[in-house]
């Protein structure tokens, strides 16, 4: 197992393997996305209180989930790169930051679009919203560090420290609706507690959540491949690859 993990951490092996996996993940992403949108827009019934406006949930909720999920992936990969100096971990961390920032912005934007008709305002300094906004700033800080420091290894170490410090914000986002009085509704997707989301709404929500995760995998692999080529541009295997495509 350790031999496989060591082999997978090789930039050359990762580049070849990811190139084969990306199309598969892409097609599965498209299938789940289309199924989720169809069930969410045409099969799921209107909400008895919110009417048709609740359907933005099928984008907003998966985006919010992904904003935290990607941050944890980025922080863990950054920590691995910081401790064990694994280049591929640094690449994944750097490649994840812009994607996570996009998911976070999407969650905030769709939340504002939902909040205007439901709350009567685009924005409130609610615990959930404020901590999610802080998450966006953390992503932007990581991106800024990676861009401002010319040496990639130094940039990765600096951004990893920031990402690890920012992990404390993740449980704050998750539990904010339980710890403080908030306008934001609590979780209803679990079938074990009340109130609970109806199965006709839960299915498209889960389909979209899977589609968003697959989308992240596709994009992070594509970005990581470009980052690997940039960092390994002077290595022999990249030179051979360039010659292969030139001929």
The pLDDT value recorded for residue 229 is 95
Q: Which residues are within 8 A (CB) of 70 and not within 5 positions of it... i.e. 6 or more apart?
A: 96, 99, 100, 103, 216
Residue 148 counted as domain residue: yes
CB atoms within 10 A of CB 19: 12
The pLDDT value recorded for residue 191 is 44
- Mean per-residue pLDDT over the chain, rounded: 90
Q: Give the chain's domain count.
A: 1
Which of the residues in the chain have pLDDT under 50?
191-192
Residue 217 counted as domain residue: yes
Domain span at 91: 31-44+54-232
The model's pLDDT over 148-170, given as tens digits with 9 standing for 90+, comes to: 999 999 999 999 999 999 999 99
The model's pLDDT over 20-31, given as tens digits with 9 standing for 90+, comes to: 999 999 999 999
Instruction: Report the predicted TM-score, pTM, of the whole model to 2 decimal places.
Output: 0.93
Residue 83 counted as domain residue: yes
The pLDDT value recorded for residue 156 is 96
Residue 4 counted as domain residue: no
Q: Is 68 exposed, middle or buried (0-12, 13-18, 19+ CB in 10 A)?
A: buried
Residue pair 184/128 in contact (Cβ under 8 Å)? The answer is: yes
The pLDDT value recorded for residue 183 is 63
């Amino acid at each position: 197992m350790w031999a496989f993990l060591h082999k997978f951490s090789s930039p050359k092996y990762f580049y070849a393997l990811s190139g084969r996996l990306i199309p598969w993940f892409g097609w599965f992403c498209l299938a789940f996305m289309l199924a989720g949108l169809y069930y969410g827009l045409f099969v799921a019934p209107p909400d008895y209180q919110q009417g048709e406006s609740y359907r933005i949930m099928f984008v907003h909720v998966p985006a919010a989930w992904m904003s935290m999920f990607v941050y944890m992936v980025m922080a863990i990969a950054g920590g691995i790169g910081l401790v064990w100096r694994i280049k591929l971990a640094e690449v994944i961390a750097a490649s994840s930051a812009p994607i996570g920032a996009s998911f976070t912005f999407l969650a905030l934007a769709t939340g504002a679009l939902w909040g205007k008709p439901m709350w009567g305002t685009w924005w409130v300094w609610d615990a959930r919203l404020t901590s999610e906004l802080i998450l966006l700033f953390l992503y932007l800080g990581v991106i800024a560090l990676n861009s401002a420091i010319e040496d990639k290894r130094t940039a990765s170490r600096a951004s990893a420290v920031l990402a690890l410090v920012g992990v404390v914000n993740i449980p704050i986002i998750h539990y904010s609706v339980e710890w403080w009085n908030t306008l934001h509704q609590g979780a209803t997707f679990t079938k074990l507690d009340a109130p609970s989301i109806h199965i006709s709404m839960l299915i498209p929500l889960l389909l979209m959540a899977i589609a968003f995760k697959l989308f992240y995998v596709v994009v992070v692999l594509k970005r990581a491949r470009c980052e690997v080529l940039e960092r390994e541009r002077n290595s022999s295997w990249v030179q051979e690859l360039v010659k292969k495509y030139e001929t």
